[in-house]
Structure 1
Amino acid sequence: MHIEIKDQAAKKIRRGIPLIQKEDLKKNDEKLPREWVEFIDKQGKYIATGYLGKQNKGVGWVVDRSQASMEPAFFDQLFQKAIDQRQFFLSDNNTTAFRLFNGEGDGLGGITVDYYDGYLVVSWYNETIHHFRRMLTDCLQKILHPKGIVEKIRFSSELPESNWVSGEKPHEPLIILENGVSYATYLDEGYMTGIFLDQKEVRSRLTEGAALGKRVLNMFSYTGAFSVAAAYGGAVETTSVDLAQRSLPKTKEQFEVNGLSLEQNRIVVMDTFEYFRYAARKNLKYDLIVLDPPSFARNKKKTFSVLKDYGRLIEGSLNILPSKGTIVASTNASNYAIEKFQTAIEQVFKDQKVSYSLSDSYRLPADFPVIEQLAESNYLKVLVYEIQKR
């Protein structure tokens, strides 16, 4: 099937940008085809092969520009190339969970594959690529022979968000390793598994000395992975704060699987901003504060947006830092440019008249390759600041 695209879209594709937007199409049909398509220009000249489908960003992806046939052999080669590039991770006995295939960064937008100690978690972000799931999972099965495959539906659908595809389910929690630290994971409990694999380098920083001898506060802690990494790395105490009730048993479990006592590792179920006020009233101080909020969250009548509210997190953190301290500021908001993120944070430092220096920064790790020309594909931004109050 041929789909005509506008001249600007053709230029964009030739520059290496694979994301197809609705406005790129000459005709905007409501019903998108569930098949591979050839994108052509107004002269009928071939531009690229890809697909269109319902997804959260854009309406499809370019997959190939050589007119290759979209048969299993093509995807065998695509997956094998990604696996070959991750041999370091596959051979690392201290890390048994990582991103095996990262969508457009590995040549096929709309799908990611995560490796959990021999099991695969396949996430589908587009209705049409999900239509080809049997062929694609068969390719993965043939190349990797995984113990099992579970899929996550991440486009708008009435399908269950998690579904076991093949193989036997592991005894859960499935304990994986990352930089020698154990984490309890659950592969078939909704979208989340218990750990965000893209933060491995930041957690490594904590295990390798950044938290040594420090009092650490982990805000929006989820299952407490940053806290566990900090405790493993010698923190004198950690405090994990999250509003979700499930965070208490989930975080407790993460400490237990590492044999770490809860005596010096507190877990608090509370709204983040309420905890900032509580800590300030009690004169609690933290040497290192990790801020890793969701891009958007709703709590009763309150809403939180990274773009609007991150500055309030920095203000709250400064109130409970001692005279010298560290703030690890993180966001996964793909629509928040790193320059704007950094400017917003540093404006608060200036307003509060504190001295600061950016000691380190992190983007997505090596197992999360991105498209340079597509800024939103490199969504993770982590800035580490050393603060000194005047």
Structure 2
Amino acid sequence: MEKIFVKPLKRHGSLWIYQNEILSDITHINAGSLVKVFEEKTNKIIGTGYINPQSVIAVRLLSFGDEQINKNFLRERIQKSHKYREDFLGLKESYRLIFSESDFLPGLIVDKYGKCLVIQILTAGMERLKDLIVEILDKLLVPEVIILRNDAQPRVKEGLKVEKMVIKGCVDNLIMTKEDDLKFYFDPLHGQKTGFFLDQRENRLYLKSLISSGEGLDLFCYVGAWSIHLAKRGANITGIDSSEKAIEIAKQNAMLNNVQDKCRFIKADVFDYLRWEAKKGKKYDFIVVDPPAFVKSRQEKKDAIEGYVNLNRMALKLLRKNGILATSSCSQHISETDFLEIIKKTFKASKKTGILLYKGTQSKDHPILLTMPETSYLKCLMLRVF
């Protein structure tokens, strides 16, 4: 393991070390190699991690101490994450088992869906540890299916191949997961991200406690999770998504949960659909707005803010008096404060007011590491509109 030296670090508790903080020559070190990091002035150990000289985030720490990164180290980390989800949170069926930096395994995402594991490796350092990680997970959880969803764009920046494959078992059909008293089909190999959005679990359950009747919209509905929760409570809801495959699965999920008479799903562009409904003068009792990330970098933030304002303004136009708006942002570069200001701006532009009923974040199996604000990404606001 090579030793590298850095400037005194001001971001206490962060696992990231940027190129401009490194004093040593690292150009000769292979991407993904393990390194020990020391502060130059004091020769104090900062931690042990892996390096990618081509990345802006040049080092990602796995430990704040001087440790050997081997099979035992990885097994202990993974067992600790597993124990937190199953013993402390009480999750058994489906959950995010590893959430990258928040579980001190930066660059690694693992989702458990019953007997199916979906693994996503984002960095060169984790790619080098892949075989050990898969071996440990296979022995610990004994899954029937293991899928590698290594098709995320951060891999390109790390110099890694973009790919997806089944490395254990087979996936001939859709996988099923459970949430509360409902069941959902999803596609872990070809669907969005790792197939199902576990991070909105607690927000979906809260909205279900508010709504038991009326007519609503579920925008960017994907496989219909928000819709089916609300339909099961007695509401009538229309889900809109531009993906034909997602709409097909959402319809199957409605039948699976016996709410097909309360749900309909339409393949359409959300913005176009909202314009059509506004022209007809249509009004709804509640609207769920859960779009994909509008911003992938700080440079795109201004345009993203405008996009969020326009989308929520169009949704507000269709809400009846005393209607409920449940709106989210999963853009990491939009902070909680930013998003609240966006919604305030939207209300002002729409000449409406309302009260904040609920302020939520990602579910607890996606923990937020306090010393790394980058691990907090999901914002969910629920408002009663006057």
AA aligned opposite 2:267: V
> Contact 2:295 / 2:333 at 8 angstroms: preserved in 1?
no
Deviation at 1:54, TM superposition (A): 8.1
Query: What letter is aligned with 1:340?
Result: D
SS at structure 2 position matched to 1:29: coil
- Please report how far the alpha carbon of residue 85 of structure 1 lies from its aligned counterpart in structure 2 after TM superposition: 0.9
Q: CA RMSD in A?
A: 2.4
Deviations 1:67-115 (A, max 9, x none): 12111111111111111111258965xx621111111111111101111
Equivalent-residue separation in structure 2 for 1:116 and 1:73 (angstroms): 25
Displacement of 1:171 in angstroms is: 5.1
Task: Work out the CA distance in 1 between the residues paired with 2:198 and 2:129.
Answer: 26
Q: Which residue, 116, 135, 144 being the options, matches 1:119?
A: 116
User: What is the aligned partner in structure 1 of residue 32 from structure 2?
Assistant: 34
Following the alignment from structure 1 to structure 2, what is the Cα–Cα distance between the partners of residues 234 and 211?
8
Query: For 1:365 and 1:357, how far apart are their aligned partners in 2?
Result: 23
Q: Which runs of 4+ in 1 moved over 4 A?
A: 54-57, 88-92
Please show how residues 73-222 of structure 1 align to structure 2 within 5 Å.
73-88=72-87, 96-153=93-150, 154=152, 155-156=155-156, 159-166=161-168, 168-170=169-171, 172-189=173-190, 192-207=193-208, 209-222=209-222
Cα distance in 2 between the residues matched to 1:268 and 1:282: 17
User: Does the 8 Å contact 1:241/1:272 carry over to 2?
Assistant: yes
> 1:162 & 1:291 partners in 2: Cα distance?
29
Distance 1:103 1:55 in 2: 20
2:229 equivalent in structure 1: 229
Instruction: Go from structure 1 to structure 2 and tell me whether the alpha carbon gap of 1:314 and 1:296 turns closer, same or farther (over 3 Å shift).
Output: closer
1:254 aligns with 2:269: no
Supply the AA of the counterpart residue of 1:377: T
- Distance of 2:264 and 2:188 partners within structure 1: 26
CA contact (8 A) 1:90 1:96 kept: no
Cα distance, 1:297 vs structure 2? 8.5
Q: What's 1:282 paired with?
A: 280
Once the two structures are superposed, residues 345-385 of structure 1 have per-residue CA deviations (whole angstroms, 9 ceiling, x without a partner) of 11221233222111101112211112112212110100111
Provide Cα deviations, 1:206-251, integer angstroms capped at 9, x if missing partner. 44x322112121111222221111112221x111112223233122
The one-letter amino acid of 2:76's match is Q
Give, in angstroms, the shift of residue 28 of structure 1: 6.2
Partners of 1:129 and 1:111 in 2: CA distance: 7
TM-score (norm 2): 0.89
- Distance in 2, matches of 1:90 and 1:371, equals 16
> How far does residue 31 in structure 1 lie from its aligned partner after superposition?
6.2
Percent identity at matched positions? Answer: 25
**AA matched with 1:195:** F
Aligned residue for 2:268? 270
The whole-number CA distance in structure 2 between the counterparts of 1:268 and 1:311 is 24
Gaps of 5+ in 2: 297-301
| Distance (Å, rounded) in 2 between the aligned partners of 1:115 and 1:127 | 23
When structure 1 is superposed on structure 2, of 179-188 and 330-339 the one drifting more is 179-188
Distance 2:191 2:161 in 1: 12
CA contact (8 A) 1:288 1:327 kept: yes
Letter in 2 for 1:246: K
CA distance in 2, matches of 1:295, 1:52: 28
Mapped partners of 1:42, 1:316: distance in 2: 54
Superposed displacement of residue 138, structure 1: 1.3
Q: Which amino acid aligns with 2:369?
A: I
Change (3 A) 1:216 1:28: farther
Is residue 48–residue 64 contact of structure 1 (8 Å, CA) maintained in 2?
Answer: yes
